[in-house]
Amino acid sequence: MELDTIDLAILKELQRNGRISNTELAERVGLSASACSRRHDALEKAGVISGYHARLTHKALDYKMMVIVHISLSGQFAKTLQEFEAAVKRCPNVLVCYLMSGEYDYILRVAAKDLADYERIHRDWLSALPHVVKINSSFALREIIDRPNVGL
């Protein structure tokens, strides 16, 4: 889907406030309500908008520790990657998982309540993931920025 300036304006407003009414959104981007609704629907159907959610603070939910985990596998065969990825998706504390180029095969961002909780996650989940040969954990000292959206 080719995005024009009005599509980008709609996306920018929705990033700011996903609960904005269609009437207000249309007013802010300079469209009629029906035209805005059609564009909004088209953006959703094209997969440009992947969903809507409440952004929760981890600390408010008692997850005070963020851990960056580097993982090396025994190989990068298709079956190995598929088995690892299926298993890591089941771990509820893994917030993000990226397949990487370079020294490590995957990088994860893991939420933990404290060090004892991370030890449990490491023991019960991460160490049990298939084909893992190396786990390197780094503990975030302070969050500087965590943007939910890309700048438009």
Q: Would the pTM count as exceeding 0.85?
A: no
* Residue-wise pLDDT tens digits, 33-87: 999 999 999 999 999 999 998 888 888 899 999 999 999 999 999 999 999 999 9
* Residue-wise pLDDT tens digits, 91-121: 999 999 999 999 999 999 999 999 999 999 9
> Where does the chain show beta strands of DSSP type E?
65-73, 94-99, 106-112, 132-139
Quick one: pLDDT at residue 147? Answer: 84
The torsion of the CA quartet 118, 97, 127, 83, rounded to 10 degrees, works out to 150
* Beta-carbon count within 10 A of 71 CB: 22
Q: Which domains does the chain have, with CATH numbers?
A: 5-45 (1.10.10.10), 59-139 (3.30.70.920)
Compute and round to an integer the Cα radius of gyration of the chain.
Answer: 20
Length of the chain, in residues: 152
Quick one: pLDDT at residue 146? Answer: 87
